[in-house]
Structure formats: structure tokens, C-alpha cells
Amino acid sequence: MAIVFLSLLLLEIVILIRSVIGSTLKSDKPIISTTQYLRHIEEKNPTISYSKQLMRQQDSIECAVCLSEISEGESVRKLICKHTFHKDCLDEWLQKCLATCPLCRAKVLPDEILAKYDRMQSQIEYDGSDEEMIFMLSALYGD
Ligand SMILES: [Zn+2]
Ligand SMILES: [Zn+2]
């Protein structure tokens, strides 16, 4: 009788230890905060002061997020895909949507960083699809 009781107790302890270890492992998940995420964006797509000459562009360009013309001296980010946006507009977009270019959907960050950020984002309940988000944005900014 005593042996059965002891083994049950032992089992309970094992379960308890497992759940404790489990929860600490969960909190150790390699996730990054929005601040870190933005830092990575800055690293990969540094903010520059817009200048037509510097960009070797003849015509003025438009920021596809706010649909207004980018003027000389404004803070912009030029992505790998060569699309240019206002820094603030792009950062907002990248936090709301996926870390992709608003125009061509080119990834702005390496997959391993995105995976970490995605994991954190998925902890915050969000069930809207990309398409819905794009629709919402176009409804907001378009006419
Ligand atoms: Zn803009
Ligand atoms: Zn692009």
C-alpha cells in the first residue's frame, strides 16, 4: 500500500517538475519585441535623407503608403527591391502587416528574424487576413 502511494507521489512530482520546466521553456522562446524588430529593419534598410540626386532619379517619387510625394530631405527607407517609402509610413506598415514591401511584397528582413517576430505576433490574437488588411488600408488611403 505504501509503495503504491509513494509511486503515485513520485509521479505527481514528475508531472509538477515537467510543467514547471515546460513553462520556463515557453518563456525562453526566441521571440523579439517590436523595438528589436524595428532595430533589425533599421540595420537592413537604414534611414536615409531623400535626395533626387542621390537616388539618381529624374522624376519625383511617391510613397505608396501615404500616396504623397516624397520631398527632398525627408527621412526615407530604400528597400532591397529599390522601392522607397517614408520611414514613418513604412515602419507603421511593417508593424501592422508582414515585413514585406507594400508594393512588391519583397521581404525586408531575413527569414530567421521574421520567424521570431511572427511567433510573437501570433501570440497577440489576430485573425484578419493580409487581404483584409490591404483592403482596409486602401479604403483608408485610397479614394
Ligand atoms: Zn508616406
Ligand atoms: Zn518593393
**Domain map (residue ranges) of the chain:** 33-141
Distance from the alpha carbon of residue 63 to the mean position of ligand 1, in angstroms: 5
* Residue 21: per-residue pLDDT: 67
Distance from the alpha carbon of residue 5 to the mean position of ligand 2, in angstroms: 66
* Residue 7: per-residue pLDDT: 84
> In 3D, which of 60, 59, 99 has the Cα closest to residue 81?
99
Tens digit of each residue's pLDDT, the chain (143 residues): 677 888 888 888 887 877 776 665 555 556 888 899 999 999 999 999 999 887 776 778 999 999 999 999 999 999 999 999 999 999 999 998 778 999 999 999 988 888 888 777 666 555 555 666 666 667 766 65
Distance from the alpha carbon of residue 106 to the mean position of ligand 2, in angstroms: 6
Q: Tell me the C-alpha distance between 89 and 57, whole Å.
A: 21
Distance from the alpha carbon of residue 17 to the mean position of ligand 2, in angstroms: 49
Distance from the alpha carbon of residue 50 to the mean position of ligand 2, in angstroms: 17
Ligand closest to Cα of 64 equals: 1
* Residue 29: per-residue pLDDT: 59
Angstrom distances, CA of residue 118 to CA of 34, 53, 96, 122: 11, 37, 12, 6
* Residue 22: per-residue pLDDT: 65
Distance from the alpha carbon of residue 48 to the mean position of ligand 2, in angstroms: 17
Q: What are phi and psi of 82, to 5 degrees?
A: 75, 10
* Residue 75: per-residue pLDDT: 97
Ligand closest to Cα of 65 equals: 1
C-alpha cell at 119: 511567433
What's the CATH architecture for 33-141? 2-Layer Sandwich (3.30)
Distance from the alpha carbon of residue 56 to the mean position of ligand 2, in angstroms: 17
Q: Tell me the C-alpha distance between 106 and 91, whole Å.
A: 15
Q: In what order do the strands lie in the sheet with 47-49?
A: 47-49, 75-78, 84-86
